[in-house]
Structure 1
Amino acid sequence: MDVLTDNFSLYGQGFLGTLRLTLYSSLLALVVGVVVAGLRVAPVAALRWIGTAWVTVLRNTPLTLLFFAMLLGLPRFGVALPFELFAVLALGCYTSAFVCEAVRSGIATVPVGQGEAARSLGMTFGQTLGTVVLPQAFRTVIPPVGSTLIALAKNSAIAGSFSVVELLSTYKTLNENGYSVIRAFAWIALGYLFLTLAISAVFNLLEKRSGVAR
């Protein structure tokens, strides 16, 4: 317990760093993931190709490699951003590929007749997708998207290796100060557990309110 009480401020900064990374990366992943899912089901072949390429490349690229590309590669092209923002971009873009596939699977559950009916009323593809298809697909994508964002929260630990302040990075300071490795990691694990349980609770609530039977 002394590890936590003696270093409460350090743990707090790390937890808030992880919380910020998770929140901002999740928002980016959700927005980009939905957009890319729309590209993947678009009637234009070029758009479908772009969506497929995005998902294929990111899903098959190790997240650590993507961090290296963002934090070390982009500055060579004159892109100078805070390390935390680079980490958000890496996490958000990587996770968007998985969000896209979850949303696309939800879109596939919507009867084809719904889209055809919307188009017969003169609605464009974007209008059909945004007002008819996605609202119906929303209920079925809640569980997989929730699991994806939980994985994102845990993946944020990689950012600590790139000078980003987050929960796991507190271990370095604690180790230098001579604290027990096991106790230090135990409190770090509890921090991640608290965060992932909170995300799970939010998505369980959304699932119940959407009326999806378990």
Structure 2
Amino acid sequence: MPSDASTFTVRYTFDGPSLLADVTGHGHDLSPVSRNGGAYATVARNGGKALVFPTPCHDEPCPRIALRAPTTAELNPGKRPIRYGASVRLAADQTTKGENVMQKGYSIRGSQYKLQIDGLAGRPSCVLVDDRRTVIHAAISGVGVADDRWHTLECRRSGSRLSILVDDVVRGRATLPADLSVSNHIPFSIGGKGSFADNDQFQGILDDVWVEIG
């Protein structure tokens, strides 16, 4: 995480009276989109709060929820360096094929940056997709985080290098085209792509989500 709070492009601590507010003051506040009764709850953490997302569901209709910030070019890094991350807690029985911690854009169109946790082992990964070439570049952690403990996750892109850090240790890397650019008109989302089917619902506890661009 950036050491200087002033460098955050957006940050959500989920504390205080406005749980979904962007605490940087840049105005990228979140709003929920939900279906089938999807909702978040809160639990106490470190003197503040963290968000609890719906538990795994195997029989439709399943509850779904995502938190979205309005579309803005300020959250498009283009070719610039970008760092983004979150604190997560996920139990072994809360893993699925894919769970979105955060994302902006889609891999099949318009470019993307994304942090996700995949598979039964709960291995986090960072994904970048260019706005001209729909090739998925992923830095996948060699260790899982589905142990019902808190972990900090961070993605770092600098030039042609993409890295994923788990608890401040680099656990995976990928090589990118140096001119890869992420720029799209899709809202920034946390906890899922949206409220539709196959939304890659996050199903654990989430706290301190942030992005730093430049």
Q: What is the TM-score of this pair, normalised by structure 2?
A: 0.22
Higher radius of gyration, 1 or 2: 1
The structure with more helix, counted as a fraction of residues:
1
Pick the structure with more strand per residue: 2
